[in-house]
Amino acid sequence: MSRVTLRRPLPPSRNTLSDTMRFQIARPLRSAMVEGIQKGTVLTSYRHLTAATDSLQGILERNRKWSEEQKKAEPTFFSKLANIQTPQWLWIGCSDSRVPANQLMGLGPGEVFVQRNVGNLVTHKDMNAMSCLEYAVTALKVKHIIVCGHHNCGAVKGALTMPNRQQGLVNLWIQDIRDTRDRHALILKQFKGDEQVNKLAELNVLRQVFNICSSPIVQAAWEDGQHLSVHGVIYALNDGLLQELAEPITSVEDLEEYSRTKLGDLQSLSSTLLEHLNFKPEQEAALRENLERASGGFTGQ
């Protein structure tokens, strides 16, 4: 059960990011890639990439090269890393191969604790995600949690187009995204094609941020005075940039404000649109039923 206390909001105490962290989180992917190429850690052509990754032997060879280069640059790199990890960030992102956490943030091994799954979901019934969250918050004492979704997400597309009754684990897994779709159906109907997919991807991030903040793990950390900020960002595949979707949430009071401005307002807008359209009850019910049918889709694709 989520435990969000209802009390009068107090002036939020912001645990703002340092200038260095802001630079790191906003740095485009291409900058990280350029640095990697200069260091010899990133392949410079798709042809070489394919040749090096189409067999385990190629992967092992690249691993040996990487290890040697790391030790040459910093002889104590692995001995330090082996003894302790002190990441400041927990990254919760999509399993998509085009969205690698460390590279996007410009951070190295030991600096980011990572949880990835299809659709960057964090539901309270997911023991994997909750265990990761608990370990990061209570044992590692991370200071920041970042939920990162991305445009052109396959899981989001599935939530818009896959029939509810279609069998398969993926279809069951993305039900939380489908629920977000239904909550904001009238807003999503204002968009078409890729714009609709990307809008739902952003709404999904906002929902997962709420799920994290309303979890007993994070609620208890705040009650104990632990400094913990939760962020929601979206990643654009076409330019490699991360965009912040909401102000950081650092307390229960922040969460209450977030619920009103980022979740409540969207739901109110849906209700306002229904009232403005002057639907009769039976028409509204029929509309909602139609919106719940993913086949024949929201996207019109």
Annotated catalytic residue: which of 27, 94, 132, 181? 94
Beta strand pairing status for 229-236 and 241-244? antiparallel
Residue 148 falls in the annotated catalytic set: no
Catalytic residue among 132, 144, 151, 153: 153
- C-alpha 198/C-alpha 141 separation (Å) is 32
Q: What is the largest CA-CA distance in the chain?
A: 73
Distance CA 187, CA 45 (A): 41
- 96, 132, 151, 176: the catalytic one is 96
231 is in an annotated binding site: no
Q: Is 94 a catalytic residue?
A: yes
User: Annotated catalytic residue: which of 150, 178, 181, 207?
Assistant: 150
DSSP assignment, residue 246?
A: S
Q: Which residues contact 294 (CB under 8 A, 6 or more apart)?
A: 159, 160, 161, 162, 163, 164, 178, 181
CB atoms near residue 30 (< 10 Å): 11
Backbone angles phi, psi at 150, to 5 degrees: -145, 155
Residue 227 annotated as lining a ligand binding site: no
- Check whether 150 is labelled as a binding-site residue: yes
Asked if 132 is an active-site residue, the reply is no
Catalytic residue among 14, 98, 260, 293: 98
- The residues annotated with a catalytic role in the active site are 94, 96, 98, 150, 153
Annotated binding-site residues for Zn(2+) read 94, 96, 150, 153
